[in-house]
Amino acid sequence: MSDGTIFAPEGSGIRPFADTIGWLWRVPVTDSPSGRSVGIGTIEDGVELEALVASRQLAGAAVFGSRPGPDQGRVPGRQRLAGTARFGPGLATQGDFTVLHGPGRAVAESSFGAHALRDGSWLTLGFDPVASWGTLQHFWALRPLADFLAELLQRPMAMLPPLGMVRYDDVPGTAEQQLKGETKSDAHVRRRLRRILGAYRRAGAVINVAVACRALDGDREVPLESIWPGSLEMLREGIAEGYVEQVCHGYLHLDRDRSGPDEIEPREFARLDRPEAHRRIEAALEWGTSILGARPRTFIAPNWGYSSGSLEALGEIGLPAWLPFRFGPLVDGPNARETLVSTVNGIHDLDYAPLAALAAAGLPPYVTIHGGLMDARFDGLRGLRHAGALARLALRRDLVRLPGVPGIRWVGSGELMERLRAHDRVEVAGAEIRSPDGVEVSAHGAPVAAP
């Protein structure tokens, strides 16, 4: 990708994180130090990194640590605090935080104190990037790290533009929900969709809906439109106008062979062989084209339940799938990985600005909303006794508020999948960012024209 590299000590627990940001910002990762490398590591790697920087075998080093403790060499003392950290107007998260006490300039700070300190060619960040990945409370860490790497490596961080994706799961309902008694009537779902879809239409954003194609009528499998005809017509209209995109969510959203009175198994693709998975996926695609007016461009299995046969069938059909997050490149063969582990963990009241901060640092937030997540949001606010936020959320849910978050362009699943694939081919030569596909690339949030 370029001649500047990230050095991760051999055997260090930081390597999974290094591989991820290296892919996001198009910086190679190595376990061989050089003067054109910046090292990153945990507190346990601090002594080795300090020696390599002192001998000029590294241009600098960034060390991550969340555990409280005294100064250790160039690593400053650390204190743990819990609660709500405020980073500016409308920019707050909640959880456990590490505050740093030592020399250097604060490059990330909140109402609790300094979370990142820069001391010349040394950067200390007070969090564990592996344990905390995908949560919102440490949104602040990516930007100062990117700035540090860009300065010391004398090259831009080639980032994805500030994009995001919202996925609304199990719309308008599933067989699993029917068996659990959790479905809503067609009229109820239409009222909910009218409000949600209208927010995305007005904002010029796209909402992705994960839809299966069959439901249950008693013990019979029936087309989804026989249960929720009006709701599906609303989705069809939104798809035609471009503010709704269907994500294929399978056939029935239920493994009938493993479901009974005492257990309901939604992972219908977790055990399928290739021929049966192929049959169900093709049926779902044909249904989406016929009933919703467009062939889905991507696939998400219920509860990420993919058998090897299901993945083989998707590859044969040419339908890329969303896989659960795993450290490393977000592109995984023909498929891609989601970016956030939890879209609830760390969020404070109705403060969505941390999502925009992640997007500005080249990590597109992939927000998934479903009934269980909505319940968790309400329960969390009740437990914190945040009555005002709870009342506002009851009036306008997260799904309705998200398209109004400034600084993010909410895109369709197919576009994000294509963007990730194109980003996999971006290279950096000196100060020049080369995008062979001619797609938009950002460096520190500023667009760079592809040559």
* Assigned token pair, 13: 């627990």
pTM over 0.85: yes
As beta bridge partners, residue 247 has 210
**Looking at the chain, which residues constitute the CATH 3.20.20.370 domain(s)?**
163-423
Q: Quick one: angle between helices 142-153 and 353-360, nearest 10? A: 20
* Assigned token pair, 357: 């901060």
Cβ contacts of residue 129 below 8 Å, gap of 6+?
A: 14, 17, 64, 138, 141
Instruction: Say how many residues make up the chain.
Output: 451
What are the distances in angstroms from CA 439 to CA 165, 195, 426? 18, 33, 9
Residue ranges in the chain whose pLDDT is less than 70: 1-3, 341-344, 371-385, 390, 393-395, 444-451
**Where would I find the H helices in 307-442?**
308-317, 353-360, 371-384, 387-395, 398-401, 413-423
**Looking at the chain, which residues constitute the CATH 3.40.50.880 domain(s)?**
5-155
Determine the pLDDT at residue 446: 45
Determine the pLDDT at residue 450: 47
Determine the pLDDT at residue 132: 87
CATH number of the domain at 5-155, out of 3.40.50.1820, 1.10.150.390, 3.30.70.360, 3.40.50.880?
3.40.50.880
Computed on alpha carbons and rounded to an integer, the radius of gyration of the chain in Å comes to 23
Cβ contacts of residue 336 below 8 Å, gap of 6+?
A: 320, 322, 323, 330, 416, 417, 420, 421
Long-range contacts of 442-447 (CB under 8 A, 24+ apart): 442/158, 442/159, 442/160, 442/161, 442/162, 442/362, 443/150, 443/156, 443/157, 443/158, 443/159, 444/146, 444/147, 444/150, 444/156, 444/157, 444/159, 445/159, 445/162, 445/360, 445/361, 447/161
Determine the pLDDT at residue 251: 98
* Assigned token pair, 146: 């990117």
The third-level CATH classification (topology) of the domain covering 163-423 is TIM Barrel (3.20.20)
Determine the pLDDT at residue 255: 95
Determine the pLDDT at residue 136: 87
As beta bridge partners, residue 131 has none
- Nearest by Cα to 207 from 162, 163, 165, 236: 165
